[in-house]
Amino acid sequence: MFSGLMMNTWITASVVAVIAGVVGFFAVLRGSTFAAHAIPNGAFAGAAGASLIGINVIWGLAVFAVGGALGIGALGRKARHDVVTALTLVLMLGLGALFVSVSSQYAQEAYSLLFGEVFGVSSGEVLPIVGLGVAAAAAIVLAFRRLMLTSALPEVADARGVSTRGTELYFLIVMALATSMTIPVVGALLMFSLMIGPAAAARAVTARPGVAMALSVVIALVTVWLSIALSYRTNWPLGFFVGVAGAAFYLLAQMSKRFSRLRLRSRPAVPRSHRNRHRADRCRLARPRPRSPGSPGTSGR
């Protein structure tokens, strides 16, 4: 299981897990889950286009990923974010359908781009992926405070002169590059599962951002290592284990959250974090009680 070629797999997968954990944490926090799905998925059409005109697949992926991120970021200003994301994704995939039908020999490669070929990583591919992982992690860590501020308190960020739009665009482009460059190795679907499941699980367990991010990386690593071992033994595809393990971790985290909340209720009410407590109270005030006409705060006509 730890022979020469498999070592490449272990290293690559670990680096990918770190990228996914770091980027995924903000994807979940900022509510960019749909973009996290759309950008790598749509970038796959770029690979089809690149192979059609006979250039390196990486260029097609990069152009489509960054183009998609720019489209979502720029059009998202004027209209609803999710609608724009859906339409961008559909446009990229529609182009992909065209490219594939014109080149008419791409279907086999399509499967490996969607589901990845992590067991066939060559030594030459390891170093670029490690470099990319370091760059992506650095890009996120450097902008950590800014990203945190615009995600949690966008109004405060605006007031302090931090550009919410610019940060959003920055994050989308980092995510686009980090995810799509790894597509030929791990596949578009695997990357998505690895980004969302662990990060969502970590967020459910703790509200502290630094801890949550570290936890998300740890869970992603455990998911990947477990999946590689299982996949090696059973010969079933890696993506299956990653997808199911990610969801299982999320479920586990949700259950532990419910459980700890039950225990907390018996103790004297000490707010875990003041901001959350405050927010919950205000929402409760704004929401009218059922069947009590004329209560203050209803948004009636």
225-284 binders of other proteins (CB under 8 A): 236-244, 246-247, 250-251, 254, 279, 282-283
Using CB under 8 A as the binding rule, the residues of this chain from 172 to 231 that contact other proteins are 189-190, 192-193, 196-197, 200, 203
Q: By CB under 8 A, is residue 287 in contact with other proteins?
A: yes
- Reference 38, options 102, 93, 89, 107; nearest CA is 89
Q: Which of 1, 56, 74, 80 binds other proteins (CB under 8 A)?
A: 80
Q: How far is the CB of 204 from other proteins (least distance, A)?
A: 9
Token code pair at residue 186: 């791990």
Q: How far is the CB of 263 from other proteins (least distance, A)?
A: 21
Instruction: Pick the closer one to other proteins by CB: 89 or 174.
Output: 89
Q: How far is the CB of 18 from other proteins (least distance, A)?
A: 18
Would you give the end-to-end CA distance of the chain in angstroms? 67
Q: By CB under 8 A, is residue 100 in contact with other proteins?
A: yes
Token code pair at residue 29: 């926090």
- Listed in sequence order, the DSSP H helices in the chain are 4-29, 33-53, 57-78, 81-103, 107-115, 123-142, 144-152, 154-159, 164-181, 183-186, 188-205, 209-234, 238-266, 274-286
Q: By CB under 8 A, is residue 120 in contact with other proteins?
A: no
Q: How far is the CB of 24 from other proteins (least distance, A)?
A: 10
140/146 Cα distance (integer angstroms): 10
Instruction: Pick the closer one to other proteins by CB: 170 or 250.
Output: 250
CA torsion, points 125, 241, 137, 36, in degrees to nearest 10?
A: 100
What would you report as the CA-atom Rg of the chain, rounded to the nearest whole angstrom? 21
Q: By CB under 8 A, is residue 59 in contact with other proteins?
A: no
Q: Which of 20, 25, 26, 37 binds other proteins (CB under 8 A)?
A: 37
Q: How far is the CB of 180 from other proteins (least distance, A)?
A: 17
Instruction: Pick the closer one to other proteins by CB: 87 or 162.
Output: 87
**CA 293 to each of CA 281, 284, 297: distance values in angstroms, whole numbers, following the listed order:** 21, 16, 11
Q: How far is the CB of 268 from other proteins (least distance, A)?
A: 26
CB 280 within 8 A of CB 292: no
Q: Which of 10, 82, 117, 164 binds other proteins (CB under 8 A)?
A: 82
Q: By CB under 8 A, is residue 91 in contact with other proteins?
A: yes
Q: Which of 70, 98, 162, 230 binds other proteins (CB under 8 A)?
A: 98
Exposure on the CB side of residue 37, measured as CA atoms within 13 A: 12
282/280 Cα distance (integer angstroms): 6
Token code pair at residue 14: 């670990």
